[in-house]
Chain A
Amino acid sequence: MLAFNLIGLCILVACFALDRRKTVRSVRRGLTMFWRIVPEMSVVLILISISLAFLTPAQLRQWLSADTPAHFAAALVVGSIALIPGFIAFPLAGVLLKNGASVTLVAGFLTTLLMVGVVTLPMEVRYFGWRTALSRNGLSFVGAVAIALAMGRVL
């Protein structure tokens, strides 16, 4: 995160040294785009935090512990809807694996978590429209299931 900001800052300074007017124009354009999406993003963040307040890690552990098709389906649904940041999701997945959860289930949970985002749909729709956003998420869901099943075979 820090590295990203530092590199970005270097690029901005270099651009500023090359052409001051052009860089001011870019900064103004970037900030305008940023301010326009802040309110909507705030609503998405609220949806995410409310869903996370319902789903505590302990509860998730309980749901994803057994290895039945129903639990696999639960893992896929939770993974698709929720947006759990990496620093919670990966340790949780590690614990699940260590406690004997199947690779298919954990991989299904992680891949849907990463590739499918139901709560962030409003943002996606804003940029791409409903049709594109829904088909991207639908295809990603199918892909995530395939990845999970394949990983269960191999590992």
Chain B
Amino acid sequence: MKVDRKNVASLVATGVFLLFCAWGVWLAHKDFARRAAGGYLGFLTEMLCVLPMMFLLIGVFDVWVPRDVVERHVGEKAGPIAVLWMILLAMLQAGPLYGAFPVAAALSKKGCAARYVFIYLGAFSVMKLPMLGFEITFLGWRFSLVRLLFTLPVFITIGYIMGRSRTCVVH
């Protein structure tokens, strides 16, 4: 019931926001409302392009991949080679970081060690391939390469710290 109430509140908030935008764009001609509405629609499109497929694949992963396979490769007892698997998995994906949270949760539920879950999130946030292509176009090879060289040890360290200090809680 608690979740339901939260969802209703979220939907009401969305409705109020859309009404505000409609009022701002068509009646008051506020530039602010037009920018907010444009941004919202753009993000919504971006989300609808990536997330449904992401969740379908999470469903496939959840039903098809046996727990012991996950545990063997990226579980508590898996070696540092698991870091490489997580980075590869993250690099092949697209979309905003909030799309990676459900994937991380699904991994964790299947027995992936907390440290590798956080390494996955770190790799997803800083080194997705589509994003790297964009970065290189606008900032050049040198900038991207140096950033990656410094970022890699940082998010791997963060993953190990997070994995050590608490178990990854998934709701």
Contact = CB atoms under 8 A, between A and B. Distances in A.
A34 B171 contact: no
A50 B36 contact: yes
B150 interface: yes
12 contacts: A26-B62, A29-B62, A30-B56, A41-B47, A44-B98, A46-B13, A46-B40, A53-B33, A114-B125, A120-B96, A123-B98, A126-B101
Interface string B40-62: 10111011011111111111101
B122 to A, nearest CB: 7
Interface in A68-91: 83, 85-87, 90-91
A154 B148 CA distance: 13
Interface size class of B (residues with CB under 8 A): 35 or more
Interface of A: 1, 3-5, 8-9, 11-12, 15, 22-23, 25-31, 33-34, 36-37, 39-46, 48-50, 52-54, 56, 83, 85-87, 90-91, 93-94, 97, 103, 107, 110-111, 114-115, 117, 120, 123-124, 126-129, 131-132, 135-136, 139-140, 143-144, 146-147, 150-151, 154-155
Contacts of A144: 154
